[in-house]
Amino acid sequence: MELTTLWFIFIAFLFVGYFVLEGFDFGVGMLVGIFAKNDKERRVLINTIGPVWDGNEVWLIVAGGAMFAAFPEWYATLFSGFYLPLFLILIALIVRGVAFEYRGTRDEQQWKDRWDWMIIIGSFVPALLWGVAFANIVRGVPIDASGEYVGGFFNLLNPYALLGGLVTLSVFLVHGALFVALKTAGDIRERAHVFAQRCGLVAGVLAVAFIVWTGLSHGDAVVWVIGVLGAAAFVAAMLASYAQRDGWAFTGTFLAIGLVVTMLFVALFPEVMPSTVDPAYGLTVEGASSTPYTLKIMTWSAVVFLPIVIGYQIWSYWVFRKRISTENMPADAH
């Protein structure tokens, strides 16, 4: 296998990991404003992701770094053309991270409420815009003969991309609700099941529409198979939720998100940024890659360090695996 193809697969793997892990804590962040009735319940929701949210973001940092090093032309075109949405995502992630740390520094409820809104908004914005961004990457954007983006912001707000944004937003909400059901006990767990089942109907319809559109426009048999498996995993997650099988339900949405993101990368390959101006202007894995020597050094580094990072993250999830409830939240806790 060519190193360029190997690194395309590796970057796809990193983004799959990012979406399946960060997806549920985006969902939990948005749910803070949907069904938490009081401050103690909001603390329960936040504590379900408290030990892991920052580790989940490492996948994005590594994916961005790998893209920059392995495919510098892809990185340059993507970040120049998608500057505004990616900037909004970055600001949202910063605000969200600060909110997690600062909401408990003062006792006033008004202070906590303001930071809770930052958590909600900081989760909503990337949950929506990541779908818009990736749908545009697969659909193609205006790129000229020199590999530069020549469109405007509103070129990114096309029907396919907006549908992609609604899919990630709704599916992340379901994913987050099922994670809450897996990690909590009592009334919050029951409410999480009800929300996941209701929101799951909407998310399922949107996701199927997106999969079909992708298959008809950009796919072959492999893309269709992966998309159908993703839809089947989502249906299985909903059935498991109705049966109160929290672990299987969360595993179902975990697989569904991973399969749909994989479908997008398979539909994209061997291009990394298709051009809507002229197909010949699109960036490919070969044309956008670094030198073979650079890719070789990066490959050995990934072989050494990636298992360590994955092992540590698995260990952290195992350590914080127990359920929590409002009974675990002392009255004087922040």
Average the pLDDT over 155-164 and give the result: 92
pLDDT digits (tens, 9 = 90+) for 219-240: 788 999 999 999 999 999 999 9
Average the pLDDT over 91-104 and give the result: 90
Residue 196: pLDDT over 90: yes
Average the pLDDT over 45-72 and give the result: 88
Judged by average pLDDT, the poorest of 101-110, 224-233, 253-262, 323-332 is 323-332
Locate 291 and state its tokens. Answer: 């030198």
CATH of 3-322 given 3.40.50.300, 1.20.1630.10, 3.40.640.10, 2.40.50.140: 1.20.1630.10
Enumerate the H helices of the chain as residue ranges: 3-31, 39-49, 53-70, 72-81, 83-102, 109-139, 159-183, 187-218, 221-242, 246-268, 292-319
Residue 330: pLDDT over 70: no
pLDDT digits (tens, 9 = 90+) for 60-75: 988 999 999 899 989 8
Residue 332: pLDDT over 60: no
- Buried b / exposed e over 255-289, threshold 16 CB at 10 Å, is bbbbbbbbbbbbbbbebbbbbbeeeebbbbbebbb
Query: Residue for token digits 């909400």?
Result: 173
Average the pLDDT over 257-284 and give the result: 91
